[in-house]
Amino acid sequence: MSTVLESQEHQDLRAAVAALGKRFGRDYLTRVTGAGGHPQELWAEAAKLGYLGVNLPDTHGGGGGGIYELAIVLEELGAAGSPLLMMVVSPAICGTVISRFGTEEQKRAWLPGLADGSRTMAFGITEPDAGSNSHRITTTARKEDDGTWVLNGRKVFVSGVDIADATLVVGRTSDARTGKLKPCLFIVERETPGFGRRQIDMELQAPEKQFELTLDEVRLPADALVGDEDAGLLQLFAGLNPERIMTAAFAIGMGRYAVGRAVAYARERTVWKDPIGSHQAIAHPLAQVHIELELARLMMQKAAHLYDAGDDIGAGEAANMAKYAAAEACVRAVDQSVHTLGGNGLTREFGLASLITGSRVARIAPVSREMILNYVSHQSLGLPKSY
């Protein structure tokens, strides 16, 4: 990467994370996933080196950097074959929301742990009957006379709830003045009575599991609410931009890993007189996906710069576009990489086939391809809504 685009510090961070990725690469992640475990050694090492909390405030144990730096970490680990999906939710969404809107006690209770890897937080917004339409979520929070909260509702596809110390749950409270429901964010500790989870049987080879959650009269203290009861939507959006930027980083890293494997194979594999990489039918599609990944990274960098500069609105459009571009580039990159390996593309030994489902995650979550196209149609182009 050119020095004009990225500072020496950023290049050094990339190189250092890539070196960590070499130590804990694809083989490590495959082994851990196969054994049904979690990449705890990598998580702990990344935390120790200051990478996990690089975006969190230095007043609370973080590195004092931004989402730009955190995205570098996730992209480079992904490019080594060992992306840490929980980075998208724990330091990026939850860490951002708490550091921007949490009380001093919440910051002290959570941020140092999120940064040093001793605590992890999941994020739950998706509901079975709402899906992409998050205005339709029905998890409700009732405020009791003593200021405590009672939550009821259901969530689905929430990642990492088993390993997370708590889940940041998006619920709704009714506005005493207007009677309308407004979103609110609550920290729900894992073993809180009434907070149930069931693992969903996913066709994914990843250490992070997805869960269906039930909240049945979950009683929470007053200080479980994060931020201002009346500014829930704003606070929620503050966490969603980092989520999209980090999903872009996840997708770009995975795409780079797949293309790297395919290029190495295409340089060696010879079935006629020259390696298969000399055939343009193999070389050009790989060149295309390489270009698409580079372009997606540029948009991700723009989004991260805007976000870190405090431009939440500008970052919103760029973060959505970056997530879209990166997911599409990743899906195509993985598809072409698998194809480049012929039959070996589908063997466990070469380990690329499992990325076919992995790459689709970035297309559907945290917001689907179609919902981003809707957003750009309406917000950027001013076209009317069909729904």
Ligand X SMILES: Cc1cc2nc3c(=O)[nH]c(=O)nc-3n(C[C@H](O)[C@H](O)[C@H](O)COP(=O)(O)OP(=O)(O)OC[C@H]3O[C@@H](n4cnc5c(N)ncnc54)[C@H](O)[C@@H]3O)c2cc1C
131 binds ligand X (CB under 6 A): yes
- Please report how close the Cβ of residue 372 comes to ligand X at its closest, in angstroms: 9
- In terms of Cα–Cα distance, which of 10, 248, 113 is closest to 18? 10
Q: Which of 99, 210, 247, 336 binds ligand X (CB under 6 A)?
A: 210
Given the complex with ligand X, which of 80 and 85 has the nearer CB atom? 85
251 binds ligand X (CB under 6 A): no
- Please report how close the Cβ of residue 387 comes to ligand X at its closest, in angstroms: 5
What residues numbered 342-371 form the site for ligand X, per CB under 6 A? 361, 364-368, 370-371
Residue reference for tokens 């002290």: 108
Q: Which one of the spans 26-34, 118-126, 219-227, 297-305 is the region binding ligand X (CB under 6 A)?
A: 118-126
* Number of other residues whose CB lies within 10 A of the CB of residue 145: 5
Residues 208 and 86 sit within 8 Å (Cβ to Cβ):
yes
Q: Which of 68, 110, 123, 149 binds ligand X (CB under 6 A)?
A: 123
Q: Which one of the spans 155-163, 181-189, 272-280, 339-347 is the region binding ligand X (CB under 6 A)?
A: 155-163
* Tokens at 299, concatenated: 């948009």
How many residues sit close enough to ligand X to count as binding (CB under 6 A)? Answer: 21
- Please report how close the Cβ of residue 55 comes to ligand X at its closest, in angstroms: 18
* Tokens at 312, concatenated: 């939440």
215 binds ligand X (CB under 6 A): no
Given the complex with ligand X, which of 282 and 330 has the nearer CB atom? 330
- In terms of Cα–Cα distance, which of 238, 131, 234 is closest to 183? 234
79 binds ligand X (CB under 6 A): no
- Please report how close the Cβ of residue 214 comes to ligand X at its closest, in angstroms: 14
Distance (Å, rounded) from C-alpha 152 to C-alpha 219?
9
Given the complex with ligand X, which of 266 and 365 has the nearer CB atom? 365
- Please report how close the Cβ of residue 230 comes to ligand X at its closest, in angstroms: 23
Given the complex with ligand X, which of 329 and 361 has the nearer CB atom? 361
Residues in the chain: 387
- Please report how close the Cβ of residue 219 comes to ligand X at its closest, in angstroms: 22
Q: Which one of the spans 101-109, 124-132, 176-184, 290-298 is the region binding ligand X (CB under 6 A)?
A: 124-132
Q: Which one of the spans 21-29, 117-125, 173-181, 321-329 is the region binding ligand X (CB under 6 A)?
A: 117-125
124 binds ligand X (CB under 6 A): yes
Q: Which of 96, 139, 159, 320 binds ligand X (CB under 6 A)?
A: 159
- Please report how close the Cβ of residue 367 comes to ligand X at its closest, in angstroms: 6
Distance (Å, rounded) from C-alpha 186 to C-alpha 159?
17
Given the complex with ligand X, which of 23 and 378 has the nearer CB atom? 378
Beta-ladder partners of 183: 172
Q: Which one of the spans 46-54, 126-134, 260-268, 320-328 is the region binding ligand X (CB under 6 A)?
A: 126-134
Given the complex with ligand X, which of 284 and 378 has the nearer CB atom? 378
* Number of other residues whose CB lies within 10 A of the CB of residue 238: 20
Residues at the contact surface with ligand X, assessed by CB under 6 A: 89, 123-126, 131-132, 157-159, 210, 361, 364-368, 370-371, 374, 387
